[in-house]
Amino acid sequence: MKPSDPTDGDFLRRFATEWLAAWNSHDTEQVLALLHPDIVWEDTVFWTDVIHGRESVRNYVERIWKAMPDVGFDEVQLFTAPEDGRAVVLFRQQGSGPPQLDPARRFDTYGCDIFLEFTDGLLSRYLAQYEINEMMRQLGALPPRNGKIGGAYLLSLLGGKPSAAAPAHSASQRQPEA
């Protein structure tokens, strides 16, 4: 173990607190200051690809502020694995969506910030997971589920037809709609 590797619970608690404060500040520089220059940033819910490097994350962060101008994050629970130098912040996010959607509508959903690795006291590998479908329903960008679960709901948005990227399955492999 290198001395610069944070592996204790106190570091992870401090980092999580600073992390949420940086995001709630809506100051890109505060967020970037917590990242290692060679960060690997995985948020393929919002972004199309894995992002490599702190400066590349800048565009991502700026797009978050543009898409959700008043988004705020509250910690629900911090889970730590100090022996591995990892942590998960379960958060609640609230705010309004992009200006092109109904400005009177708001979202209130949950998600996780997953800190997978730290280098020299800075976050060097990150994974985001959150409920964008529910967020978009609350903002009026997606229709109600109408009792559909899982993939059945997503397929209903396509008119019930699989996309070219997803191979069609035989009737015996399909799960029933619920």
* 139 C-beta neighbours (distance < 10 Å), count: 19
**Cα–Cα distance between 34 and 116 in angstroms, integer?**
14
pLDDT at 4: 46
Predicted TM-score of the model (pTM): 0.82
Q: How does pLDDT run along the chain (178 residues), one tens digit per residue?
A: 344 455 699 999 999 999 999 999 999 999 999 999 999 999 988 889 999 999 999 999 999 999 999 999 999 999 999 999 999 999 999 999 888 888 889 999 999 999 999 999 999 999 999 988 899 999 999 998 889 888 888 888 887 666 555 554 433 333 434 3
For the chain, the three-class secondary structure string (H helix, E strand, C coil) is CCCCCCCCHHHHHHHHHHHHHHHHHCCHHHHHCCEEEEEEEECCCCCCCCEECHHHHHHHHHHHHHHCCCCEEEEEEEEEECCCCEEEEEEEEEEECCCCCCCCCEEEEEEEEEEEEEECCEEEEEEEEECHHHHHHHCCCCCCCCCCCHHHHHHHHCCCCCCCCCCCCCCCCCCCCC
Q: Name the class of domain 9-157.
A: alpha beta
The residue extents of the domains of the chain are 9-157
pLDDT at 121: 94
First and final C-alpha spacing in the chain = 50
CA of 131: how far to CAs of 29, 43, 93, 128, 141, in Å? 26, 12, 10, 10, 14
* 40 C-beta neighbours (distance < 10 Å), count: 17
pLDDT at 126: 98
pLDDT at 161: 63
Q: Taking the C-alpha atoms of 102, 105, 106 and 109 in order, what is their torsion angle to the nearest 10 degrees?
A: -90
